[in-house]
Amino acid sequence: MSASQFLYIVVSSKGGDIRINTDSMSAFYAQLVKAKETGISKAEALRRAQIKILKESKYASPYYWGAYVLLGNWI
């Protein structure tokens, strides 16, 4: 692995409930694992994770899933 593979970070513009942060990051990393198989980008993995969270009725508001931003090497 090269250092360039790790030059990205997902940040949240809001603090918040630790449960949604854990659920969101778990969904994101699950999508990143699939990315190696499917060839999707990190940005697409984040989008898919946000959609997964959005579909859960208790987290449907953008307050929960809209604050995450991918910075750096998002390809």
Work out the angle at residue 32's Cα, subtended by the Cα atoms of residues 54 and 25, and round it to the nearest 5 degrees: 50
- The tens digit of pLDDT for each residue in 22-68 reads 888 888 889 888 888 889 998 999 999 889 888 888 888 888 878 88
Looking at residue 9, its pLDDT comes to 74
Domain boundaries of the chain, sorted by first residue: 3-72
**Are the C-beta atoms of residues 49 and 30 closer than 8 Å to each other?**
yes
Strand-pair partners of 69: 11
pTM of the model: 0.75
In the block, tokens 């959609």 appear at 51
